[in-house]
Chains A and B, each alone.
Chain A
């Protein structure tokens, strides 16, 4: 096995993003959908770190720290919302909220 090159990291990131996307589009459980979006996030973050290492600077890593912080705070909000939504309908099914379309 030769050394890991940039394209290996990019491939991993793309695969993680695609899995997340497919999961988001195919599942209805709100927690799972939320997890899938997190997965897509991490796919992107791997890209950032990989490019940072490739270019030999810290910009990608610094950006990653930001993304992680924001993702953490967003996760706490989103999970809280999910709990509230669950209390309203007693189900995690996203389709229970269809009437929000207006």
Chain B
């Protein structure tokens, strides 16, 4: 497949957005100004076109061959120190192609939306430069052919996330949120970094597949070898857990999820691109890519599944009592990421990646739609202050409805198929824990449907209520101001098509699964899973050829549960709104618990942040009194000497100095001549 244009010129993927970012970053402030989006549009546009080209060619290839499709490309020798070497290069297989398409195409749509959304903002060029830098890092992350490059992209997207959350740096909340995101991610990256070091120690290389799949020179293949020594076997038990910590940080899983809700302080396109569609799914990508490492440890898999499942439920319950549109979607993102983790943890990486793709479409759609609402309502996002917006924003209402139906998992929308696959994999898992997880996920899906439509019915249906300021604005400008400019609605329509149709990527036949199955990561993962765990892993969960069966019972159950959630929401939040208030009154403590987000932030504040501050203050005290005191005493001696001179000899009379010189010379002469 090396002769494909997009593979041959694979370095264009990261380079084009990077050049765009450099151009708009350095020329934007002075020359480009309100045209700063052009370099990014062109750069990301080229990457998006290339990614589609790559995707279609790879699909064609996968139809003609039953073998795995992959290639390793070395751009240049990057690091060469002693035995350690890491090349800057790409590993391209179906998984990479899918991830690149998601990142570049959704990224491109969001940069187009951003032109309308960010118009006239202070530091317009800065926003686009960061966006370009983000796409650059993200493409490196999903293309890199070794762990070092993956880590580079991983940190790069972290930096861009930090910069973009803190985009409105005049606002203290934005600054705090940016710092929090960066520091919480540090915790995860610490584990991830140690994991990579351990990988190098164990296998002597950091490359995924070395010189290429099948050559047994890369980590992912060496790990499946049957001739591992004791140290390597012990290390293999630890590596998945260390990598997992990194994934939990980046993908906002319990207990490291706390940064994601706060990250909503950033501009809405950023929330859509980084904190919903792409960056936060890096953890899923990493686990899917390294499935051969993970499937060997049943404990690691079950930990991932259990944490994912708990996060899915936990975040869904918090989302029930949030009032900020973006906060609701933030918690739902955490919850959906939990679903994906449960999927990859329960030996169904295809389902996890499938949900990643559909989620990228509908969650980007939902965030951008709430961006349109925010734009029209003069920055107001509190759903208690608005209602019946379908009269003001007729197009956005339909976009939002499709997004909500997909998120709620309503039958025939994209979220339904992917979520159903994860639930199905959980329910058919042989262990009891798997079935418990399946049941919890079903309940979380019910909550998801309920809170999604609580939001939709509150904001878009019912009598028209708009926040005071926006309402005034409306009357002043009457119809002069269009709340739904084409540049913002057009990308949303494309995303809406994705949210409608992405589900049919893997239904009724496992098209996406078969395609992903051509990835060496999935094929090797499948073989290793069968031999290592002894579980009869269904072939289609890894996209391998085998019997396919449609689990109609699960489909019916999860569909019914989602519709039940929607109906319940329509009762409480459309037909009989006072009833929901009465319900809250009745269960006041629970409602307060959920509104306080289980006080996790406060607990962290008490047990981690406060002690750290106390230690910091103690160190400051020691530094001020002991260290600075010693320095002061030592420096006091020459000072004292100086003072004594100043009081006796150095009086400032020029004549005095002259006389001193005279006497000095006289004494010297006397000494010489006498």
Contact = CB atoms under 8 A, between A and B. Distances in A.
A69 interface: no
Contacts of A101: 646, 650-652
A66 B651 CA distance: 35
A56 interface: no
B646 A102 contact: yes
A24 B655 CA distance: 7
Contacts of B655: 24-26, 28, 94
A98 B653 contact: yes
Interface range, A side: 10 to 19
B654 interface: yes
A74 interface: no
Nearest to B642: A102
A98 B652 CA distance: 4
A33 B654 contact: yes
Nearest to A33: B654
A95 B658 contact: no
A54 B550 CA distance: 126
B652 A99 contact: yes
Interface in A39-79: none
Contacts of A21: 658, 662
A1 interface: no
B658 A24 contact: yes
Contacts of B662: 21, 25
Interface in B613-656: 646, 650-655
A25 B652 contact: no
A24 B653 CA distance: 12
Given A24-B658, A25-B658, 18 more contacts: A21-B658, A21-B662, A24-B655, A25-B655, A25-B659, A26-B655, A28-B654, A33-B654, A94-B655, A95-B652, A95-B653, A97-B652, A98-B651, A100-B652, A101-B651, A101-B652, A102-B646, A102-B650
B343 to A, nearest CB: 75
9 contacts: A24-B655, A24-B658, A25-B658, A25-B659, A26-B655, A98-B652, A99-B652, A102-B646, A102-B650
Interface string B216-245: 000000000000000000000000000000
Nearest to A99: B652
A98 to B, nearest CB: 3
Contacts of B651: 98, 101
Give chain A's interface secondary structure class: helix
Contacts of B659: 25
A26, A99, A100, A102: most-surrounded residue (chain B CB, <10 A) = A102
Nearest to A95: B653
Nearest to A36: B658
A28 B426 CA distance: 100
Contacts of B658: 21, 24-25
A102 B647 CA distance: 11
A97 B662 CA distance: 22
A2 B462 CA distance: 132
A81 B658 CA distance: 19
A100 B651 CA distance: 10
Contacts of A25: 655, 658-659, 662
A58 B655 CA distance: 36
A27 to B, nearest CB: 8
B45 to A, nearest CB: 65
Contacts of A26: 655
A97 B657 CA distance: 14
A97 B655 CA distance: 12
Nearest to A21: B662
A3 B94 CA distance: 116
Nearest to A100: B652
A26 B658 CA distance: 10
Most buried by B among A24, A25, A94: A25
Contacts of A100: 652
Contacts of B646: 101-102
Contacts of A94: 653-655
Interface in A8-25: 21, 24-25
A99 B651 CA distance: 9
A101 B654 CA distance: 10
B641 to A, nearest CB: 13
Contacts of A33: 654
A34 to B, nearest CB: 11
A99 B646 CA distance: 11
A97 B651 CA distance: 11
Nearest to B655: A25
Interface in B388-415: none
Nearest to A94: B654
Nearest first, the 3 A-B pairs at minimum CB distance are A98-B652, A101-B652, A94-B654
Contacts of B653: 94-95, 98
A74 to B, nearest CB: 17
Nearest to B649: A101
A21 B651 CA distance: 20
A100 B650 CA distance: 10
A5 to B, nearest CB: 23
A93 to B, nearest CB: 10
A99 B659 CA distance: 19
A61 to B, nearest CB: 26
A7 B606 CA distance: 95
A3 to B, nearest CB: 29
